[in-house]
Amino acid sequence: MSYDTVPVPYGFGAYGMRGDLLDAQSAVDWAVAQLPVLIKRIIKWKRDEPYTTRIDTDSEPGKKVYRLTNVKTFDPLINAEAGVIIHSIRSSLDILACALAARNGFPESRSTHFPMAKAASDFSNPQSHVVEQIKRLSDVDKSTIIKDCRPYPGGDDLLCALHALDLTRKHRRLLDALIFTRGVSFSLAAPITYSGDLRFQDEAIVGWTDDSVPDGKITVGLHVAFDESGPLHGHEVPGTITAFARKAFDIVRLFN
């Protein structure tokens, strides 16, 4: 998906939302409002030509190897902004849980959180931390969270991914610049072999031709994507964050 065409909502809107849910909704809307700023940073980095290429005729006999050189990593603010946006979306669910506790007569609860279990069976264990996190909610609201939100692996995997990224961002970078084969082009109508998907780094081999092929120009499409080994690996940032925001909004709306 192109950063220039990705649909970005400017807030899902709080019209018709109950007053005690507005803080949770606002945390989602704030996150969505930051997306255009983040996207502009990404576009600027890509348009500033953050790499050159060179033709290596020495490393592979009979081959011309096209390598990246003068690679410029993306602005660290891109990673920082993505992390803060994700945190705001995840925090909206904790704010929601506290609002639900207040509805049930516990407005000062400090132990209430939106639960994220390791397994569905955790909700059947009275000693588990997730049961503790929602014990001040009404039985109806507990049931809605467990049965409709399914906050555990194999239940709602997008919700689990949001939670996992919010934890990961505290310890290491969430994002990396990647090159996908589908975004690589060669200036000549000549046979070329591409390396496949790869990280954007100096001396990365993008592709190669026989040494009889005239020198051409190779161009790569850059993607700022999640550097995760799980289901989000390689997913571009704007669309994924929008999906997270929609998920959080839909959960808040369940209790409206």
pLDDT in tens, 76-99: 999 999 999 999 999 999 999 999
Give residue limits of the domains in the chain. 19-253
Q: Give the pLDDT score at 1.
A: 38
Q: What is the mean pLDDT of residues 202-222?
A: 95
Q: What is the mean pLDDT of residues 101-115?
A: 96
Q: Give the pLDDT score at 10.
A: 44
Model confidence at 16: pLDDT above 90: no
Name the helix (H) or strand (E) containing 147: none
C-alpha dihedral, 134 to 135 to 137 to 141, nearest 10°: 60
Q: What is the mean pLDDT of residues 149-164?
A: 95
Q: Give the pLDDT score at 6.
A: 40
Q: Output the six-digit token pair for 119.
A: 């397994």
Higher pLDDT, 89 or 180: 89
Model confidence at 158: pLDDT above 80: yes
Q: Give the pLDDT score at 229.
A: 60
Band (2; pLDDT cuts 50, 70, 90): very low
Q: What is the mean pLDDT of residues 112-135?
A: 96
Q: Give the pLDDT score at 182.
A: 87
Model confidence at 208: pLDDT above 60: yes
Count helices and strands in the chain by DSSP H and E runs: 6, 7
Model confidence at 9: pLDDT above 90: no
Model confidence at 111: pLDDT above 50: yes
Model confidence at 192: pLDDT above 50: yes
Alpha helices of the chain — where are they, by DSSP H? 22-47, 76-103, 129-133, 139-143, 157-168, 237-253
The pTM (predicted TM-score) of the whole model is: 0.88
Q: What is the mean pLDDT of residues 200-220?
A: 95
Strand, helix or coil for residue 85: helix
CB 21 within 8 A of CB 256: yes
Model confidence at 169: pLDDT above 90: no
Q: Give the pLDDT score at 145.
A: 98
Half-sphere exposure of 175 (CA within 13 A, CB side): 25
